[in-house]
Amino acid sequence: MVGQRRKKQRSKKAMMGNHQNSWLRGRNAIVETLEAGRWLPNELVLSDQLAEEIRKPIVDAASVLQVPFEIVPQERVTQLCGARDHQGIIARMPPYPYLDVESVIEHADDPPLFLILDSLQDPFNFGSVCRSAGVFGVSGVFVADAGQAEVTSQVARSSAGAINRLKIARTQSLIDTADLLKEAGVRTVATSPHAERRIDELDCTQPLAVVIGNEGAGVSEELLARCDELVTIPQATGFESLNAAVSTGIVLYEIHRQRTAR
């Protein structure tokens, strides 16, 4: 069972990053991507060692979606993606299809809950934040088109497939996006160790946008000035060790807890 020739297909379509970085690997991540149908691979490459009961539904889905596929020796799969943890299947991905900011705001849930990511650099942090966003029902995620980690195979894998379900929008200015959210009646919140109000003291049932700062510098001063609320995460000690992804999970859980209790 052989799909279109790889060289012909690759020469015509844009890729996510360079050669090896364009490959998404891992069975669950690829199956989730195919099922979502939003970010379709340019091609699939499957190992000839995959069991038929695993390979067949993937091949069937690729055929329905008109995604070219090829079955090759296991060593060839490893050679293409440069890693051995591919589980016998890799997908060559195009650039991620970011959405429009205004559209994400307009079609949000009620009450909406957004994330504004201020220059996250670590793809694993970015993916983990997206994973929490997916778990806790975030309506949309806003990222800048400069200074922010791109959606890559690392982000896709660490998000556990959440990037296929989330609405992620790219913007030239997070400041302008924060202003748009204000106009839509959404209050903007950021965490700060110096804030006097705790996250559990905030009314989280109102429309909210949570700002997540850069791993090193935190939230920029200009964006911080746009925030309606600064809150702190209560801790048992003064040891400030919460990274961006962990802080996001805690804040989103508290928002979810209040909203479901209400």
**Same domain membership, residue 179 and residue 49:** no
Nearest Cα to Cα of residue 185 among 260, 96, 126, 114: 114
**Same domain membership, residue 125 and residue 75:** no
**Same domain membership, residue 105 and residue 224:** yes
Q: What is the CATH number of the domain that holds 56?
A: 3.30.1330.30
Write the pLDDT tens digit of every residue in 125-134: 999 999 999 9
Q: In what order do the strands lie in the sheet with 43-47?
A: 23-25, 89-92, 43-47, 69-72
**Same domain membership, residue 255 and residue 169:** yes
**Same domain membership, residue 236 and residue 147:** yes
102 phi and psi angles, rounded to 5 deg: -60, -40
Model pLDDT, residue 2 = 42
Model pLDDT, residue 239 = 67
**Same domain membership, residue 139 and residue 48:** no
43 to 10, 148, 179, 223: CA distances (angstroms): 8, 27, 40, 40
| Number of separate domains in the chain | 2
**Same domain membership, residue 106 and residue 88:** no
**Same domain membership, residue 166 and residue 243:** yes
Last residue within a domain, chosen from 58, 92, 126: 92
**Same domain membership, residue 243 and residue 203:** yes
Q: What is the CATH number of the domain that holds 190?
A: 3.40.1280.10
**Same domain membership, residue 204 and residue 112:** yes
Whole domain around residue 210: which residue ranges? 101-261
Model pLDDT, residue 9 = 44
Looking at the domain assignment, is residue 1 inside a domain?
no
Evaluate the CA torsion angle 26, 28, 31, 33 in order and state its sign: negative
Model pLDDT, residue 10 = 45
**Same domain membership, residue 170 and residue 44:** no
Looking at the domain assignment, is residue 13 inside a domain?
yes
**Same domain membership, residue 252 and residue 155:** yes
Last residue within a domain, chosen from 92, 127, 161: 92
Model pLDDT, residue 220 = 93
Model pLDDT, residue 241 = 66
pTM over 0.95: no
Pairing of strands 43-47, 89-92: antiparallel
Nearest Cα to Cα of residue 228 among 169, 177, 178, 171: 178
* Other residues' Cβ atoms within 10 Å of the Cβ of residue 65: 13
Specify burial of residue 99 (Cβ count, 10 A radius: 0-12, 13-18, 19+). middle
Looking at the domain assignment, is residue 180 inside a domain?
yes
User: Could you say which residues of the chain have pLDDT below 50?
Assistant: 1-11
Q: Which two tokens stand for residue 83?
A: 């890693």
